[in-house]
Amino acid sequence: MPDKQEVDFDVIVVGAGITGMYMLYKLRELGMSVRVIEKNGDVGGTWNMNRYPGCKLDSESYTYAYSFLPDLLQEWNWSNEFASQPELMEFFSKAADRMDVRKDITFNVKATRMVYDEQGNFWTVELDNAEILRARFVLTAVGALSTPRMPSYPGMDLFRGEVFHSYYWPHERGGYGGKEVSFAGKRVAVIGTGSTGVQIIQEVAKTADRMFVFQRSPNWCAPLCNKPIEPERMAEIKARYPIIFEKCESTNSGFQHDFMFETAHGTTAEEREALFEELYNQSGYAIWVGHYGDMFTDPVSNGYITDFIARKIRQRVKDPAIAEKLIPKDHGFGLKRVPMETNYYEAYNQDNVELIDIREDPIIEMTPDGIRTGTRDFDVDMIIYATGFDAIIGGLKEMDIRGLGGKTLKEAWQDGPFTYLGLQVPEFPNLFTLVGAHNGATFCNIPRCAEAQIRWVADLFAHAVENGIDRIEADEQAAEEWTRHVFEVADATLLTTATNSWFWAEFGKGLERGHRLLVYNGGNPAYRAKVEEVRARGYEGFIMRQPAVVD
């Protein structure tokens, strides 16, 4: 590493969620000086912030843990197949203690501006407490779902009742799991029916006097089938952790479930029905990513499972008109993130729950007493916004990031993400975007793919330290090839037929404006094979500078 006098730190990591904490831990092992900047008051990212009732994993708990803390894994007993937010926050908080990372994290501070100084080869990072830090490298670990999105209905500030966005659920100590907010005896409006809305709705339905669900687009949901983990099973999981992690490494999505080699073609209706029925009643994502290999490439095959899930919704919802409103008509099953549920559809059979289709009867404005649609006034005591996130790139967009010649990241990405391996952007030397757009960790059981990515990046830094490399930049042509590859992979699937999801965002101007994919859906093994090949070829596609040689 070059002269440390010029910079405050070798590396600044932005974000102390699952990714940022582990990155810090790995970089410290290399003897690098690291400072982590975290906008919230504690570690944990998603699991620190999302404290709404019903917030839980859709990944099996034991596949979601840090794999590199074997002692913690052996001490830790997961309560359920799919753990809830309080338990996850506790796990990652304990992990932070074990890694002793908090001492290198500055909490409650936002990085607002980052400018690359070409002459000095360092990044100046401005914080919202007026502090300015200089670091040789900056690694963003800002999270894929950490910039909440609020609608902009007229009159939103006039409403006199309680208002929450799912991400900003009250954080008073002990407020884990939203326990402090009561719905009993209240009229509650929930806006949004993505994974978050689905989790909230099934909880609010239990105690609210009335609940109005404002749905813009229905989603294909499937049963979570959660259950407690008994001591014998936990002992078995503890003994099998290495096998579980190895299995997750081998699958496309980082879950234990993976596609079968068989396609749905040539199968009989009875065979398909039996398989889908089995998977529908099996816990977790088997029903999404654990069946026929052509479900997401062949419209006929996708139609089989889509039809099966639609029939399930019709069976579970008593009122046929409501059932039809809950069935997506514009995309097939699994082409957006599948919300997992527990009695979600049955909630609509309850007298206290009403579904409002806001495509038919749009929200016009918020009033002091509630919500006004084109045809009705809904007087409510509470409005819950489960309206999602500016996903994947939101955390970067919140910062003014400037690379060579003052070029902003916004300019570089005006037509969509342009990266090499989803890790670096040409003309932004020494900046790395962990679990970022177009990298293999965003379309995945995140800790599994994030860990692999962090280890790979740490190895790259070890290589830099050993070889005195002080500047790493993505090659333009390598980025072009990678970006083309990301789109080619997606074009070969049906994902392109469902662009109204957080996997996509709008970019461009005028006629060029359109949805661009934010994730890489080539799968975990393919991404890992690619980065390993890049490493084997001397980090091909990265331009590395050794000052001693250049000077």
Q: Which of 62, 91, 428, 502 binds ligand NA7 (CB under 6 A)?
A: 502
Q: Does 226 bind ligand NA7 (CB under 6 A)?
A: no
Q: Does 204 bind ligand NA7 (CB under 6 A)?
A: no
Strands 132-140 and 9-14 turn out to be: parallel
Cα dihedral angle (392, 397, 402, 403), rounded to 10 degrees? 20
Contact in structure between 37 and 131 (CB atoms under 8 Å):
no
Contact in structure between 290 and 259 (CB atoms under 8 Å):
yes
As measured in angstroms, the least distance from the Cβ of 316 to ligand NA7 is: 19
Q: Which of 20, 197, 290, 429 binds ligand NA7 (CB under 6 A)?
A: 197
DSSP-assigned letters across all residues of 31-58: T--EEEE-SSSSS-THHHH---TT-B-S
| Coil/strand/helix, residue 549 | helix
Contact pattern for ligand NA7 over residues 321 through 360, marking x by CB under 6 A: ----------------x--------------------x--
Contact in structure between 342 and 224 (CB atoms under 8 Å):
yes
Strands 132-140 and 122-127 turn out to be: antiparallel
Of 8-16, 189-197, 317-325, 366-374, the window that binds ligand NA7 (rule: CB under 6 A) is 189-197
CA distance 200 to 400: 34
Q: Which of 171, 216, 397, 485 binds ligand NA7 (CB under 6 A)?
A: 216
The tokens describing 260, both together, are 């079968």
As measured in angstroms, the least distance from the Cβ of 518 to ligand NA7 is: 12
Contact in structure between 58 and 284 (CB atoms under 8 Å):
yes
Q: Which of 14, 16, 145, 531 binds ligand NA7 (CB under 6 A)?
A: 145
Q: Does 387 bind ligand NA7 (CB under 6 A)?
A: yes
CA distances from 7 to 128, 155, 267, 409 (A): 19, 48, 63, 23
Q: Which of 151, 293, 303, 525 binds ligand NA7 (CB under 6 A)?
A: 151
As measured in angstroms, the least distance from the Cβ of 264 to ligand NA7 is: 25
As measured in angstroms, the least distance from the Cβ of 167 to ligand NA7 is: 8
CA distance 322 to 139: 47
Q: Does 195 bind ligand NA7 (CB under 6 A)?
A: yes
As measured in angstroms, the least distance from the Cβ of 346 to ligand NA7 is: 19
Q: Does 190 bind ligand NA7 (CB under 6 A)?
A: no
Count of residues interacting with ligand NA7 (CB under 6 A):
20
Of 114-122, 195-203, 340-348, 411-419, the window that binds ligand NA7 (rule: CB under 6 A) is 195-203
Cα dihedral angle (223, 60, 337, 431), rounded to 10 degrees? 170
CA distance 457 to 450: 10
Strands 471-474 and 542-545 turn out to be: antiparallel
As measured in angstroms, the least distance from the Cβ of 374 to ligand NA7 is: 14
Q: What are phi and psi of 130, to 5 degrees?
A: 75, 0
CA distance 12 to 131: 13
Q: Which of 191, 275, 323, 472 binds ligand NA7 (CB under 6 A)?
A: 191
Q: Does 499 bind ligand NA7 (CB under 6 A)?
A: no
Q: Which of 33, 80, 106, 217 binds ligand NA7 (CB under 6 A)?
A: 217
Q: Does 196 bind ligand NA7 (CB under 6 A)?
A: yes
Residue of 349, 345, 315, 372 whose CA lies nearest to 220: 345
For the chain, state the CA radius of gyration: 24
As measured in angstroms, the least distance from the Cβ of 89 to ligand NA7 is: 15
Of 24-32, 187-195, 297-305, 341-349, the window that binds ligand NA7 (rule: CB under 6 A) is 187-195
Q: What are phi and psi of 337, to 5 degrees?
A: -60, 125
CB closer to ligand NA7 out of 236 and 365: 365
Contact in structure between 232 and 378 (CB atoms under 8 Å):
no
Q: Does 314 bind ligand NA7 (CB under 6 A)?
A: no
Of 267-275, 304-312, 380-388, 505-513, the window that binds ligand NA7 (rule: CB under 6 A) is 380-388
Judged by CB under 6 A, the chain residues 436 through 455 that form the site for ligand NA7 are none
Q: What are phi and psi of 323, to 5 degrees?
A: -55, -45
CB closer to ligand NA7 out of 199 and 301: 199
As measured in angstroms, the least distance from the Cβ of 220 to ligand NA7 is: 12
Q: In the complex, which residues of this chain contact ligand NA7 (CB under 6 A)?
A: 145, 151, 166, 191-197, 216-217, 337, 358, 386-389, 500, 502
